[in-house]
């Protein structure tokens, strides 16, 4: 019966993962995957002789904690929550490995179980502390810019080498309640997790979140081999593989390699480079913006993290609806690395019930941008920086961006002219066809909505 439940759960995982590939079916896919995991957990606990009282109590307590956390977290805090989820998965796998070493069962540990145990502890520890550092950077508990020091790569290599040596010694001497080699692996994996994430800047956090998600899946997969749990192996493999694929998509969206993201230190709030930006920004009022939008036949919204900070997604949806009532063609251009986690803008717009048919990718919207009447940039910065196309000295050079500077008129909603998270100056602010609507994005958009309603 347990094996049959595992098969059904695995099928549900695969179906759910497939449906996560489309905004139209993502919510349903998430629910299907959750049902699969619920089935797997119940089958595992029931098959292990746990009392149904404890199973139901655990589900109620865990469900209550999850529901409260989901209700309390702001949309701007979603990346931090995802980072904590990844860390929780990592430490859970580490605990499985630790418990298996403490209670190996009648047959004791074998090489076939010692190697995945080592991997579960290593990857789980790296994921846990790495995710905590990512959470601290995203929530601004620590500085979001890269933390680097001389000889950092040598230190990282030395720590990794020490972990591998301890791993070999653990496999050779895996007995004992408090195995010193396993203790060292745990401690060194914690250190290594911190060391690999601190040199990564805030602008690269979407890649880091995707990579840590993959690590949590690989750790779970290793834990599955330790306890011979098929469904844990399947689910961990799916998470690990999909996380790696998503990491590749994020790197491609920035035209950078994973090695460059992990070791370059790019993303500092104080980064410099590129040709000096000269010119004078042209401010615009909400009233004048209204007249431009009212006369437009086509408008493309380009959301960024500033929209999340201002929690302006509902106001933007309302403005889009007003424009459509006015006969304007409306779309939303979504850059893969906009925000602080993969799909951040998609989540915000889905929450505001923006039709997924209106969401377009950069390669689809860019060819039509010269014919677009107005591009409205809401809190985005690096993903619309034209220097990425033209300035070989810019750290962003070669990164695919949304070509809002080619629209007939570009209106940028920002609090100030400060650079984005990558710390790179944006010449878009000084283009001839750009107007800066400075201030809180939500208040600015609400003012535009009021104008349309009054008209």
Positions marked active-site:
382
Token pair in block for residue 99 = 């418990």
* Three-point CA angle 318, 205, 274, nearest 5°: 95
3-state secondary structure of 20: coil
How far, in Å, CA of 301 to CA of 377, rounded? 6
How far, in Å, CA of 436 to CA of 293, rounded? 14
3-state secondary structure of 392: coil
DSSP letter for 413, please.
E
Task: Give one DSSP letter per residue of 205-244, joined into a string.
Answer: HHHHHHHHHHHHHHHHHHHHHHHT-HHHHHHHHHHHHHHH
Read off φ and ψ for residue 436, nearest 5 degrees: -100, 115
How far, in Å, CA of 309 to CA of 296, rounded? 27
Q: Are 347 and 387 in contact, with CB atoms under 8 Å apart?
A: no
Q: CB-based contacts of 339: which residues, under 8 Å, 6+ apart?
A: 79, 206, 304, 305, 308, 345, 348
How far, in Å, CA of 449 to CA of 323, rounded? 9
Token pair in block for residue 231 = 């469904």
Q: Where are the alpha helices (H) located in 264-417, listed in sequence order?
A: 286-294, 305-310, 313-325, 344-351, 362-365, 387-390
How far, in Å, CA of 214 to CA of 29, rounded? 19
Q: CB-based contacts of 167: which residues, under 8 Å, 6+ apart?
A: 118, 122, 181, 185
Token pair 């995991």 is at which residue? 37
Residue 301 pairs with which residues in a beta bridge? 332, 376
How far, in Å, CA of 29 to CA of 48, rounded? 29
Please report which helix (H) or strand (E) contains residue 178, including its range: none
Q: How far is CA 278 from CA 417, 421, 441, in A?
A: 13, 20, 25
Q: How far is CA 241 from CA 34, 49, 244, 248, 341, in A?
A: 18, 32, 5, 11, 18
Q: Are 235 and 13 in contact, with CB atoms under 8 Å apart?
A: yes
Token pair in block for residue 53 = 């009282």
End-to-end CA distance of the chain: 66
């Amino acid at each position: 019966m347990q094996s049959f439940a595992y098969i059904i759960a695995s099928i549900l995982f695969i179906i759910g993962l497939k449906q996560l590939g489309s905004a139209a079916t993502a919510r349903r896919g998430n629910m299907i995957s959750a049902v699969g995991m619920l089935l797997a957990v119940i089958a595992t606990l029931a098959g292990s002789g746990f009392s149904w009282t404890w199973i139901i109590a655990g589900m109620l307590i865990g469900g209550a904690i999850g529901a409260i956390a989901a209700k309390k977290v702001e949309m701007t805090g979603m990346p931090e929550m995802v980072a904590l989820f990844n860390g929780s998965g990592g430490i859970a796998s580490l605990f499985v490995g630790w418990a298996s070493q403490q209670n190996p069962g009648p047959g004791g540990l074998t090489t076939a179980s010692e190697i995945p145990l080592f991997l579960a502890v290593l990857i789980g520890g790296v994921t846990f502390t790495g995710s905590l550092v990512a959470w601290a950077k995203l929530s601004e508990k620590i500085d979001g810019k890269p933390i680097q020091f001389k000889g950092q790569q040598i230190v990282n290599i030395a720590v990794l080498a020490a972990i591998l040596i301890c791993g070999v010694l653990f496999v050779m001497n895996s007995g004992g309640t408090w195995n010193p080699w396993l203790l060292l692996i745990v401690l060194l994996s914690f250190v290594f997790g911190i060391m690999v994430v601190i040199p990564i800047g805030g602008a690269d956090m979407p890649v880091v979140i995707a990579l840590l998600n993959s690590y949590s899946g690989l750790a779970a997969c290793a834990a599955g081999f330790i306890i011979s749990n098929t469904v844990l192996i399947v689910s961990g493999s799916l998470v690990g593989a999909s996380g790696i694929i998503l990491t590749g998509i994020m790197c491609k969206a920035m035209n950078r390699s994973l090695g460059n993201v992990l070791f370059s230190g790019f993303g500092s709030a104080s980064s410099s480079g590129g040709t000096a930006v000269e010119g004078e920004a042209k401010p615009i009022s909400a009233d004048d913006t209204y007249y431009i939008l009212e006369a437009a036949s086509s408008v493309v919204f380009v959301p960024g993290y500033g929209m999340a900070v201002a929690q302006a997604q509902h106001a933007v949806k309302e403005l889009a609806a007003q424009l459509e009532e006015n006969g304007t063609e409306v779309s939303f251009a979504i850059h893969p690395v906009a925000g602080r986690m993969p799909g951040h803008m998609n989540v915000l717009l889905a929450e505001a019930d923006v039709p997924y048919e209106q969401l377009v990718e950069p390669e689809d919207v860019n060819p039509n941008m010269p014919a677009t009447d107005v591009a409205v940039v809401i809190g985005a910065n690096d993903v619309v920086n034209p220097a990425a196309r033209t300035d070989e000295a810019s750290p962003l050079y070669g990164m695919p961006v949304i070509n809002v500077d080619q629209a007939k008129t570009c209106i940028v909603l920002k609090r100030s002219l400060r650079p984005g998270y990558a710390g790179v100056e944006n010449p878009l602010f000084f283009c001839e066809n750009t107007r800066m609507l400075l201030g809180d994005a939500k208040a600015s958009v609400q003012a535009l909505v009021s104008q349309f309603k009054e008209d």
